[in-house]
Chains A and B, each alone.
Chain A
Amino acid sequence: MTNSSEKEKTVKTPSTMKVIWQEFRHDRVAMASLIFTIVLILGIFIYAASLNLEKVTNVNIFAQYDKPGQDGFILGADEGGRDGFKMLVIGARNSITIGFAVTIISSIFGIVYGMISGFYGGWLDNGMMRIYDFINILPEIMIIIVLVTIIPKYNAGTFIIIMSCFMWLSTARLIRSKALSESEKDYVAASRTSGTSDFMILFREVLPNLSSIIIVDTTLSFAGNIGIETGLSFLGFGLPDSTPSLGTLISYAQDPDVIGSKAWVWLPAAIVILVLTLSISYVGQALRRAGDAQQRRG
């Protein structure tokens, strides 16, 4: 009895997540940007769900290049007379969804790759890092574009997979270096002597210790992936035409007349991308500060 009550009294070391959350709560700007990002993304998704995609993308030649405010279009209309604001919301939803999917797939792959490489070390690590080095120097944008053009059944799903093939690299390298230093720690050796399987050590013991780094890295790559997807769609090699992306909307600016005198067609999409990537990255940077004891502000 006395033993158990003593145990209850011992103060638990706060978990990494708890520390981060407490640091985060004190950083007002970071908290504001987190709330702003969530509200913005939720708003886009809720409004987009109420829209009928076919109705929005229907061409209405009479409304071609309507100015903002004309015919009830808040942000004007584009070349096909489509409502600029509704297109913007749908494009933003698609870009966020793709960016999110790519981030999840590539992060999971990168985490597993990096953990195995760093944890086992030796020839396995060496070989895996050679593969990493090689993919790292490939001209990724060009190869993605070539793949997009030669793949027969091309749709949003294949695009996500193609992008994920190249976006796991930085995560893998970061996780590898952390897993390498974790694997030399005493708790891993202790666990090993008591007969825990490598799989359990990796995912039950090492992984939680990397959680703060993973959260920061995932947030930052989310912003980065939105940038890359919209960039590829801007060039015309991202999302297929049937699913507009923010990049597709900006690509109208490649017409000298549109960029010069019809800024309402593309500028809002550019601003939405800026706002999205800046706010998501800000959250990421604040998380990094919170996770790093040396940089803590509060």
Chain B
Amino acid sequence: MWKTILRRVVIMIPQIIILSLLVFILAKFMPGDPFTGSITPQTDASQLHALKVQAGLYDPWYTQYIHWVVNMFHGNFGTSYQFKEPVMAVIGGRAINTLWLSLFTVILTYLIAIPLGLLAGRYEDTNLDRGIMFFNYVTYAIPLFVFLVIGLWLFGYVLGWFPSGGSVSLSANGFWGNTWSRLYHMILPGVLTALLSTTSTVQYLRSEIVDQKHQDMVATARAKGVPERKVFSRHILRNSLLPIAAFMGYSITGLLGGSVFVEQIFTYPGMGQLFLNSISNRDFSVITALVMIYGILALFGTLLSDIIMSVVDPRIRIK
């Protein structure tokens, strides 16, 4: 098994290199350079030129690229033009907010999806199953942002049950007050996103259970006189639930893509909102860093999924 994991990690190295090259090329196409923000009418052109030479902006592209990668490994993504702070300091706090919201959403997604998938699979072809499949069709078809906007309007404004934005209210104090306020702000975006993220898990779990039902070992268990409830909880469930665990990594990738919408709509101060904010303020050092971070996180998400998969399912290892 370690061999598989090692091989999978080795595949990731060229992927990271290509990703960094791509982001570097994108960054080169973005207008401006690290000094654009500090230019004033009094700036001496020759002095600016000297600074640019010193920063290596006239070096050949591969020298610049290596320089950029080395800096990145030191956690140095440059200075944010908008905040006049190191990029990592700007991203740091936002990253924690995004992490909490994503974690909360993943947990909710599984809490909703697993029971639905189980019920649909167990009561195949009943009205319950048809209802769940209809729910699945709706969550598949609806675009996330429309659902979020309508949800915010309904529960945040019309009914007023939840705050309409932010991550923590200013009046909250003390550890518990703060934690509760944070959680309260995450409920609406978390639940709405989780509802729409259940589709693939429900679908997969349902078909997995339907498949398992017709396995010989299940027939044997039934023939032995094992009660129906136990057949499900002992024989079918275990086999069907394991692959679901492997989806965890992929769902991280999916959530990151959605975080741009969720955070923008709920004005939640995370990385997605920072990204859009930086785009409109042309803060390119932050944009570059964020695209790189999102790409690497997605890479690790798929790595995690593949590793869990190979642990859970030995057949994949042989391949």
Chain A contacts to B: CB under 8 angstroms = 133-134, 137-143, 145-147, 149-150, 223, 226-228, 230-231, 234-237, 247, 250, 253-254, 256, 259-260, 263, 266-267, 270, 273-274, 277-278, 280-282, 285
Between A and B, 14 residue pairs with Cβ closer than 8 Å are A139-B295, A142-B291, A143-B26, A145-B276, A146-B287, A146-B291, A226-B143, A227-B143, A230-B146, A231-B143, A235-B264, A281-B141, A282-B137, A285-B137
Picked from A137, A149, A274, the residue with its CB within 8 Å of the CB of B299 is A137
Determine if B295 and A231 form an interchain contact, defined as CB atoms under 8 angstroms apart: no
CA distance A147 to B295 in the complex (A): 16
CB distance from B181 to the nearest CB of A (A): 19
CB distance from B27 to the nearest CB of A (A): 9
Determine if A250 and B261 form an interchain contact, defined as CB atoms under 8 angstroms apart: no
User: Given that A150-B31, A266-B149 are known contacts, is A142 also in contact with B290, CB under 8 Å in the complex?
Assistant: yes
What class of interface size applies to chain B in its complex with A? Answer: 35 or more
- Please, which residues of chain B bring their CB within 8 A of the CB of A278? 138, 141-142
Determine if A259 and B290 form an interchain contact, defined as CB atoms under 8 angstroms apart: no
**B284-319, CB under 8 A of A: which get 1 and which 0?**
000100110011001101100000000000000000
A147-B26, A226-B143 given; 5 more Cβ-contact pairs under 8 Å = A141-B260, A256-B164, A259-B152, A260-B164, A270-B146
CB distance from B298 to the nearest CB of A (A): 5
CB distance from A131 to the nearest CB of B (A): 10
The answer, yes or no, to whether B215 is at the interface (CB within 8 Å) is: no
- Please, which residues of chain B bring their CB within 8 A of the CB of A247? 145
CA distance A150 to B275 in the complex (A): 15
The answer, yes or no, to whether B144 is at the interface (CB within 8 Å) is: yes
CB distance from B135 to the nearest CB of A (A): 12
Picked from A139, A274, A281, the residue with its CB within 8 Å of the CB of B256 is A139
- Please, which residues of chain A bring their CB within 8 A of the CB of B287? 146
B17-60 CB contacts (< 8 Å) to partner A: 18-19, 22, 26, 29-31
CB distance from A99 to the nearest CB of B (A): 11
- Please, which residues of chain B bring their CB within 8 A of the CB of A230? 143, 145-146
Determine if A281 and B140 form an interchain contact, defined as CB atoms under 8 angstroms apart: yes
Determine if B143 and A150 form an interchain contact, defined as CB atoms under 8 angstroms apart: no
- Please, which residues of chain B bring their CB within 8 A of the CB of A145? 260, 275-276, 279
Determine if B265 and A254 form an interchain contact, defined as CB atoms under 8 angstroms apart: yes
Picked from A137, A237, A253, the residue with its CB within 8 Å of the CB of B295 is A137
Determine if B298 and A138 form an interchain contact, defined as CB atoms under 8 angstroms apart: yes
CB distance from A251 to the nearest CB of B (A): 9
Picked from B150, B164, B298, the residue with its CB within 8 Å of the CB of A139 is B298
Determine if B26 and A228 form an interchain contact, defined as CB atoms under 8 angstroms apart: no
Determine if B260 and A235 form an interchain contact, defined as CB atoms under 8 angstroms apart: yes
The answer, yes or no, to whether B61 is at the interface (CB within 8 Å) is: no
CB distance from B299 to the nearest CB of A (A): 6
The answer, yes or no, to whether B153 is at the interface (CB within 8 Å) is: yes
B253-293 CB contacts (< 8 Å) to partner A: 253, 256-257, 260-261, 264-265, 275-276, 279-280, 287, 290-291
- Please, which residues of chain B bring their CB within 8 A of the CB of A256? 164-165
A-B pairs, 3 with minimum CB distance = A227-B143, A281-B141, A139-B294
